[in-house]
Amino acid sequence: MNQPKLNLSPKVSDEIRKTTCYMCACRCGIDVHINHTAEGDKVAYIEGNRDHPVNRGVLCAKGSAGIMQHNAPSRLRAPMKRTGPRGSGEFEEISWEEAFDIAEGWLRPIRETDPSKLAFFTGRDQSQSFTSWWAQAFGTPNYAAHGGFCSVNMAAGGIYTIGGAFWEFGQPDWDRTRLFILFGVAEDHDSNPLKMGIGKLKKRGAKVVGVNPVRSGYNAVADEWYGITPGTDGLLILSLVHCLLKAGRIDLEYLRDYTDAPVLIDADPASPSHGLALLDDDGHKLVWCRDEQRARCFDAETVNPDLAGKWERDGIVHRTVFQHMIDKYLDAQYAPEAVAGRVGISAGRIRALATEIARVAFDEAIELDIPWTDFRGRRHATMKGRPVSFHAMRGISAHANGFQTCRALHMLQILIGSVETPGGFRFKPPYPKPATAHPKPHRHHQPNAPLNGPHLGFVHGPEDLALRADGTPARIDKAFTWENPLSAHGLMHMVISNAHAGDPYRIDTLLLYMANMAWNSSMNTRGTMEMLADTDENGDYVIPHIIYADTYSSETVAYADLILPDTTYLERHDCISLLDRPISEAEAAADAIRWPVVEPDRDVRSFQTAMLQLGSQLGLPGMVKDDGTPKFTDFADYMVNHERRPGIGPLMGWRGDGTETGRGAPNPAQLDRYIENGGFCLAYVPEEGQFMKPWNKAYQDWAVEIGLFDKPSPYIFTLWCEPLRRFQLAAEGVGDLQPPDHLRDRMRTTMDPLPIWWDPSEGQDGDGEYDVHALTQRPMAMYHSWGTQNAWLRQIHGRNPMYLPTEIWEAQGFADGDWARIVSPHGAITVPVAHMPALNHRTIWTWNAIGKRKGAWALHGNAPETEKGFLLNHLIHELLPPRKDGMRWSNSDPITGQAAWFDLKVRVEKTAPPADLASKPGLAPQVSPVGQGPDELRWEVK
């Protein structure tokens, strides 16, 4: 036959350079194909690195479209200073020297007088270890990253309970799990690992269950979908706990040996430690020993804890955590019949899910022939596993009851013995580690001196709060106060409103990095823009100085006084560090780098390098040598030579003489070794330490060896959250440190040491006027707002409708092409609608961050994102509507302060389409400092 001759392996590029993707937080490995041209090295295309531990060569649409992100016309080109009013977008380009001189002129005087007048908050970067170190060196207490409006409930709820959480902290045992349940997982996070894991489960015939009001993405491929009412995840979980306890389908051995379930709780109402664990003279928790019939230290080698133990002293009976759990969760209020109406799931389906969890956990239990030694010194011949695993994310976190809901989910895992056992949830190094292993937040600052310790951390009682001597908040965001004591990530969403109000005090300079606070990253979007541009009676800006660093011309750029332009991720060094957010897998510690696979063609610098240079100009400690000269030339130099403690630096691989992992002196050739190895380093956990990590001697010794810990740190899981109980005690009047009176009732109610659930909408729903839940989630093809200027990804999501469930669609007679007015107590939007049957019957939703302001991102004036796209943010306020007590409470979790984005309730009104067919509200166009992108974006790489 006469067949055409085809070149099946054409030459694609001159060279492949391996680095780490930055198109979402997965941190996948990528092969960047480079062509050498007369104009310099050019990116030809990007594919997955098949040797990389995160993605094994898999790459999603975002990752492949990185080439368009790198070449986006919205890239900033040089430092700029504002020449017109804030918000106008009028700037002039300046040199880096002038930019640093301007910044120094603002920052040096406040460091010399009051460093707290700098508020330094960073968005979705992955270098928080570095930025927090910089802020600590400056001396301001006002630093945090974006977790406060993203998932602090998830992180804090997990760490306070099991010593780690979902996503970057751990993963399911994909090879052994037989039942996988997702709660509130959107598509933009953990995309490739989740898709690969679900693919493994489907291939093996394992069951996937989705619990989410919206059936999209991962839930669309689930074998079963539970379309619950938003915010009721915790109630559903506690009903499952009720069913499991009532049926006796719990792992008593696991609870006895590895958790605080047998710990005795002080029952003396007159005791200052009422409701806390009883302790021995050395401060160790006490359990009742079944064999010796006496109270003993929980970790004694020969102790046999009794879950039902009681210790009577002076006529008072002290009972175990387990007995308190039995009393609470066997209550009829948690029976499926009692919760079904609120949850939106029938009692029969709730019981069926509980039965399935129990069946797989106990009837399909697995056992690995791997001997191991526990922290009590006992030798075990095998590792027993419960092949049920869970994954959860922002959907359960972004509610006012989110912290307790996250804890409830971890309690469910613990009850069936599926944390750190084969088939269940597995920690990723450097986790697990208990909340007590983390620093506490520091706040003491003084002129010309570094802060006295890390800004963020884990509070264990009122004495750890970040309060001034007069009891007022020490931080501008009011993190770590009586209003939200366990705010481990800070409260980025409150910075601008608090700074504008001068509450708790005025600041001088707001320094933001890659945080689009003037648009999709803030509640009360229009109000935030007004605050940024507001002036006082003298005509001066209420927030005197704003420095903003970003790669692209976002909506927030227009509100800055000084712009520090960042590089793209293919033009800079980055450190995906064990000190920060590593790429570890359950079987191995892993970290990675980015490096400049191409040089920038603009006058830009990586933000980290720019901050090191600014820091050295300010003479910040750790950034200058004794003679005052810069200690680091750039961020690459910092990555290699910075040490947090002797032998421990940002990168674990190829330290010392190049053969040491984890611990070792700085190695000048370290980055070269990473590049040669594909941009990452792996250190495998020994087989004996693969599971049972919190209690496993082999894992603990290995973790010390590679520098994760300085000494073995085994611990038991904490079902009874003592920090919460300590705040309850304070609210009850115990102790010298007392909360404001108006917070006492709320603290007593919400800060239960055992997981609870309450309805966040009670008392604020406008007497039923707002009876529809409204959600927003990000699509797989967009990570936050980063895809907006991407020519490929825009073709996938250039517009967004409001999706309506069948009940609302039919009741109001909607048809294709119709529009609706969506009204909340805060505002209204007018938007196109679409019908979606696979949706909770009283819930509407839309994609997040699709809508854009005209003039931003180098978009054309008629770009669909600016006319057909919209934000739900316009309906949300940082404060709740007035309650029956007349108070306007923060729209956040009262425990951590996380923004409660998903508690929004609205009403839906059918309306005529606007005459211009553009969504409302419409804001006046901005002037773009980079102009408008070309009509066509094309180039040829040869």
Write the pLDDT tens digit of every residue in 188-203.
Answer: 776 788 999 999 999 9
Burial 225-248 (b: 16+ CB within 10 A, else e): bbbbbbbbbbbbbbbbbbbbbeee
What are the pLDDT digits (tens) for 738-758? 999 999 999 999 999 999 999
pLDDT of residue 789: 77
pLDDT of residue 125: 67
Give rounded-to-5 percent helix, strand, coil for the chain.
Answer: 30, 20, 50
pTM (two decimals): 0.96
pLDDT of residue 646: 95
What six digits make up the tokens of 136?
């600590």
Distance of CA 840 to the CA centre of its chain: 25
Nearest-5° Cα angle at 937, 936 to 942: 130
Number of H helices, E strands in the chain: 23, 34
Burial 278-317 (b: 16+ CB within 10 A, else e): beeeeeebbbbbeeeeebbbbbbeebbbbbebebeeeeee
C-alpha span between 926 and 87 (Å, rounded): 7
What are the pLDDT digits (tens) for 85-137? 999 999 999 999 999 999 999 999 999 999 999 999 998 766 889 999 999 99
pLDDT of residue 800: 94
pLDDT of residue 786: 67
Contacts of 41 (CB under 8 A, 6+ apart): 34, 35, 597, 598, 599
Contacts of 580 (CB under 8 A, 6+ apart): 126, 127, 128, 129, 130
Bridge partners (DSSP) of residue 774 are 844
- Give alpha helix (H) positions in 380-484: 394-397, 402-415
Q: Is the peptide bond before 600 cis (omega within 30 degrees of 0)?
A: no
Among candidate residues 750, 746, 770, the one with its CA nearest the CA of residue 758: 750
Which string of DSSP letters, residue by residue, matches 556-591?
GGGG-SEEEEPPPTTSS-EEE-TTSS---BTTEEEE
C-alpha span between 19 and 639 (Å, rounded): 15
C-alpha span between 209 and 220 (Å, rounded): 10
Looking at the chain, the whole-number percentage of residues with pLDDT higher than 90 is 87
pLDDT of residue 880: 84
249: three-class secondary structure by DSSP? coil
What are the pLDDT digits (tens) for 34-69? 999 988 999 999 999 999 999 999 999 889 999 999
Give the type of residue at 230: P
- Give alpha helix (H) positions in 299-384: 321-329, 336-343, 347-358
CB atoms within 10 A of CB 741: 8
Q: Is the peptide bond before 430 cis (omega within 30 degrees of 0)?
A: yes
Give the type of residue at 514: M
pLDDT of residue 39: 87
Contacts of 427 (CB under 8 A, 6+ apart): 163, 164, 169, 170, 420, 586, 693, 694
Residue 887 has pLDDT above 80, yes or no: no
Residue 765 has pLDDT above 60, yes or no: no
Which of 397-411, 513-527, 660-674, 813-827 is the least confident region? 513-527
pLDDT of residue 781: 84
Among candidate residues 89, 66, 93, 94, the one with its CA nearest the CA of residue 858: 89
Which string of DSSP letters, residue by residue, matches 117-182?
GEEEEE-S-S-HHHHHHHHHHHT-S-EE-GGGGTTHHHHHHHHHHTS--SGGGEEE-TTT-SEEEE
Residue 371 has pLDDT above 90, yes or no: yes
What six digits make up the tokens of 633?
């030339």
CB-based contact 32:46 (threshold 8 Å):
yes
What average pLDDT score do residues 794-813 get? 95
Helix H, strand E, coil C: the string for 56-102 is CCCCCHHHHCHHHHHCCCCECCCCEEECCCCCCCCEEECCHHHHHHH
| C-alpha radius of gyration, the chain, whole number | 27
pLDDT of residue 185: 86
DSSP letter (8 states) at residue 362 = I
Among candidate residues 180, 198, 202, 177, the one with its CA nearest the CA of residue 364: 177
Looking at the chain, the whole-number percentage of residues with pLDDT higher than 70 is 98
Contacts of 227 (CB under 8 A, 6+ apart): 212, 213, 214, 215, 344, 345, 838, 839, 840, 841
CB-based contact 350:343 (threshold 8 Å):
yes
Hunting for tokens 């697995």 — which residue is that?
366
What average pLDDT score do residues 767-781 get? 88
pLDDT of residue 246: 98
**What does the mean pLDDT of the chain come to?**
94
CB-based contact 822:816 (threshold 8 Å):
no
Q: Is the peptide bond before 921 cis (omega within 30 degrees of 0)?
A: yes
Which string of DSSP letters, residue by residue, matches 521-541?
TSSSHHHHHHHHH-B-TTS-B
CB-based contact 638:644 (threshold 8 Å):
no
Upper half-sphere CA count for residue 768 (Cβ side, 13 Å) = 0
Among candidate residues 161, 694, 153, 721, the one with its CA nearest the CA of residue 410: 161
What are the pLDDT digits (tens) for 320-356? 999 999 999 999 999 999 999 999 999 999 999 999 9
Among candidate residues 480, 477, 570, the one with its CA nearest the CA of residue 515: 477
pLDDT of residue 507: 98
Residue 764 has pLDDT above 70, yes or no: no
